[in-house]
């Protein structure tokens, strides 16, 4: 008996990184009291690329006194 080996040659295409086109998917936001004089706000936006389906998360956080001036994105979370 003779040994036969077969080699499979695969043509490799050069890697080309995706030129992402991210699209907004959803938003999650919440706040909680971290103590008597501190509120914490967390906002996360989720995106996906139309071309390669890669996911991306963008998270913002803010903490401060409840009576202090807060950014607009915190007001959206607090006063739903």
Domain spans in the chain, listed from the N-terminal domain onward: 22-78
Model pLDDT, residue 65: 87
pTM for the whole structure: 0.68
Rounded to 5°, the CA angle 63-77-55 comes to 90
**8 alpha carbon, distance to own chain's centre:** 39
Q: pLDDT tens across 46-66, in order?
A: 999 998 999 999 999 999 888
Residue 78 φ/ψ, nearest 5 degrees: -70, -40
Inter-residue contact 52 to 44 (CB < 8 Å): no
* Strand stretches in 1-80, DSSP E: 22-35, 38-49, 55-64
């Amino acid at each position: 008996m003779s040994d036969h080996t077969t080699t499979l040659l695969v043509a490799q295409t050069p890697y080309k990184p995706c030129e992402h086109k991210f699209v907004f998917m959803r938003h999650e936001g919440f706040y909680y009291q971290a103590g008597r004089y501190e509120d914490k706000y967390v906002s996360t936006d989720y995106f996906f690329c139309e071309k390669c389906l890669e996911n991306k998360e963008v998270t913002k956080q803010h903490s401060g006194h409840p009576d202090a001036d807060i950014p607009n994105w915190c007001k959206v979370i607090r006063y739903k």
